[in-house]
Amino acid sequence: MSAPRRAVDLRCCLVTSGTGDRAVETAARAAAAGAGVVQVRAKEATARGLMELARQVARAVAAASPRTRVLVNDRADVAWALARQGEAVHGVHLGQDDLPARDARALLGPRALIGMTAGTLPLVRRAQDLAGDIDYLGAGPFRPTPTKPSRRVPLGVGGYRDLVAASALPIVAIGNVRPDDVPALAATGVAGTAMVRAIMAAPDPAVEVRRCLAGWSVPQD
């Protein structure tokens, strides 16, 4: 892996959707506008399909912004294979049913960026035991989302305060987050926000990324 651990800006993370050119183009435009992380997610893709998509995204993002970190969703093996080939892939984001974090760390090495989904207070507390192996926690949903249906009650702004208080690991809010939500979320102490539809479906993804980043500097009463 090519990037030092923890050298990452989590304020605006793009989670891609789809497997076509739109995903690649949007990732590049988001990176050029300042997104610190692009997570390549394509639940419908085969391992080989995901690998090829992540390869294209990694190359497009590296050309647009070498500082932006590219993660593969769920598949540590795909991230490892691409990094081994010299592609600019920096790690993986794991779900609760994916390869255990310690095994992912052993596979990807000490410099990889590893995130993990932990959307409830018990999961956040349990994840603290993995602080040596993971770098941040993705927590949600912030509000109901059609992109990734969940049976969990949406956290809303207030729900993140308890998660942040319980975690030594940075928390990234996800789940139908929009740029207008960022100032209130930032005030809870989360380290970042992850967006899917707000950026992927935008007429100009760069505008939404810049709006997201601007939200981190808006003072809250």
DSSP notation for 112-129: -EEEEE--SHHHHHHHGG
Does this model's pTM top 0.85? My answer is yes
Residue-level pLDDT at 221:
53
Residue-level pLDDT at 180:
98
E-strand ranges in 7-112 read 12-15, 37-40, 69-73, 91-94
Judge whether 5 lies within some domain.
Answer: no
Judge whether 66 lies within some domain.
Answer: yes
43 is in an annotated binding site: yes
Could you tell me if residue 195 is left (phi over 0), alpha (psi between -120 and 50 degrees) or otherwise beta?
beta
Report residue 13 as tokens: 């993370």
Q: Above pLDDT 90, what percent of the chain?
A: 90
204 is in an annotated binding site: no
Residue 161: pLDDT band (50, 70, 90) is very high
Least confident of 54-58, 85-89, 146-150, 165-169: 146-150
Judge whether 48 lies within some domain.
Answer: yes
Judge whether 4 lies within some domain.
Answer: no
181 is in an annotated binding site: no
Report residue 191 as tokens: 């380290």
28 is in an annotated binding site: no
Number of structural domains found in the chain = 1
Please answer whether residues 128 and 167 qualify as being in contact, where contact means their C-beta atoms are separated by less than 8 angstroms.
Answer: yes
> Which residues lie below 8 Å from residue 190, measured CB to CB, with a gap of 6+?
139, 160, 164, 170, 171, 172, 173
146 is in an annotated binding site: yes
Residue 151: pLDDT band (50, 70, 90) is confident
* Higher pLDDT, residue 146 or 16: 16
153 is in an annotated binding site: no
Give the number of C-alpha atoms closer than 13 A to the C-alpha of residue 47, restricted to the C-beta side. 8
220 is in an annotated binding site: no
Q: Above pLDDT 70, what percent of the chain?
A: 94
Judge whether 7 lies within some domain.
Answer: no
Judge whether 161 lies within some domain.
Answer: yes
Q: How many helices (H) and strands (E) does the chain have?
A: 9, 8
> Which residues lie below 8 Å from residue 66, measured CB to CB, with a gap of 6+?
88
CATH of the domain at 147: 3.20.20.70
Please answer whether residues 10 and 172 qualify as being in contact, where contact means their C-beta atoms are separated by less than 8 angstroms.
Answer: yes
145 is in an annotated binding site: yes
Residue-level pLDDT at 59:
98
What is the amino acid identity at position 99? L
74 is in an annotated binding site: yes
90-117 pLDDT, tens digit per residue, is 999 999 999 999 999 999 999 999 999 9
Residue 3: pLDDT band (50, 70, 90) is very low
Mean pLDDT of the chain: 94
Judge whether 16 lies within some domain.
Answer: yes
40 is in an annotated binding site: yes
Give the H/E segment covering residue 139. strand 136-139
Residue 6: pLDDT band (50, 70, 90) is low
> Which residues lie below 8 Å from residue 153, measured CB to CB, with a gap of 6+?
none
Give the separation between CA 150 and CA 28, rounded to whole angstroms. 29
What is the amino acid identity at position 13? C
196 is in an annotated binding site: no
Residue 124 has pLDDT above 70, yes or no: yes
Give the separation between CA 212 and CA 79, rounded to whole angstroms. 27
Domain that holds residue 22: 12-215
Judge whether 178 lies within some domain.
Answer: yes
